[in-house]
Structure 1
């Protein structure tokens, strides 16, 4: 008995088809084996694939969206991965590589709203209790100092240390201007007469 789960947003529709994995003790309403999925983006072609493609889509798009929200956009998905996404002139270029030989990669340009809808559909998929499949996502790591350094302007990064150094020099200068008390002259013994 084939099961179908749908996840829809304004410009994105994701349909996952599969079968229950009865050997794992799942009930008949849970998809444990994905047989395929289809995804439609507004104004784009309908995409189809298998579980590996869905896993690759999750592994590329979710971290990309996280970095984009952090203000450090960067590409995800290498040249061998089935899915890659990168920033491209104010838009987002999603590149899907087919597992079929002699098929050129499909490149889609997404605007922010389409990317947001895609991320929402993928989040609904990940959090759906009707799916008994553990999707593997890369561990969430905090942004590195190098990635965060570019977010702050140069002046703001060095303002606190420069202000501290200036305060130290100013206080040292003021302290050096305070006259030191003169030592009293040593008492000379009176001469005997």
Structure 2
């Protein structure tokens, strides 16, 4: 018996179809074998594909959304992957590549709301207990130091170097103004000292 699960947001509808994997002991309401999916984004062509295409979409779109929230958007998905997404003139370019050699890739431009709806649908899919398939994501990577620099205010970035230079200059000025102490001379060491005459 074929099962169909649907996940909907305002501008996005994701529908997956599959069968229970009875050999793995799954119940009849659990999708253990994904046979296909369809993705309908408002104002765009409806997309259809197999499990590997859906997995590639999860592996590209969700990390891209995390990078976007961190303020460092960058391309997710290699040139050889079925799905890639990158920032494009204030929007988000989703590129889907067919496995057929003579088919041109399909490019969709999503605004922030459409991307947010797509992310919510993909998250609902991943967290659905009725889906017994692991949709893997790339491991989380911390942002590099150079990617975090632009997020710190300029005053905060130059405060430590300026304080260090100021302390060094102040120490030099104070050292130059302090008088040098001459050692006190003893009478025995003074050759001009005259001894009083004896009577």
Q: TM-score, normalised by structure 2?
A: 0.89
Residue number in structure 2 paired with 1:69: 69
Moved more, 146-155 or 114-123: 146-155
Residue number in structure 2 paired with 1:191: 195
Moved more, 170-179 or 42-51: 170-179
Residue number in structure 2 paired with 1:117: 117
Task: Report matched runs for 1:43-192 at 5 Å.
Answer: 43-152=43-152, 156-188=156-188, 191=195
Q: Deviations over 1:9-29 (max 9, x none)?
A: 111110111111112222211
> What is the distance in 1 between the residues matched to 2:79 and 2:155?
38
> What is the distance in 2 between the residues matched to 1:124 and 1:168?
58
Q: Deviations over 1:113-148 (max 9, x none)?
A: 000111111111111111111111100011112322
> What is the distance in 1 between the residues matched to 2:98 and 2:106?
8
Moved more, 117-126 or 93-102: 93-102
Moved more, 101-110 or 179-188: 179-188
SS in 2 for 1:73: coil
SS in 2 for 1:140: coil
> What is the distance in 2 between the residues matched to 1:94 and 1:37?
17
Residue number in structure 2 paired with 1:19: 19
Aligned residues: 193
> What is the distance in 2 between the residues matched to 1:8 and 1:180?
82
SS in 1 for 2:129: coil
Gaps of 5+ in 1: none
> What is the distance in 1 between the residues matched to 2:57 and 2:74?
16
Gaps of 5+ in 2: none
> What is the distance in 1 between the residues matched to 2:10 and 2:48?
19
Moved more, 71-80 or 176-185: 176-185
SS in 1 for 2:27: coil
Q: TM-score, normalised by structure 1?
A: 0.92
> What is the distance in 2 between the residues matched to 1:151 and 1:112?
21
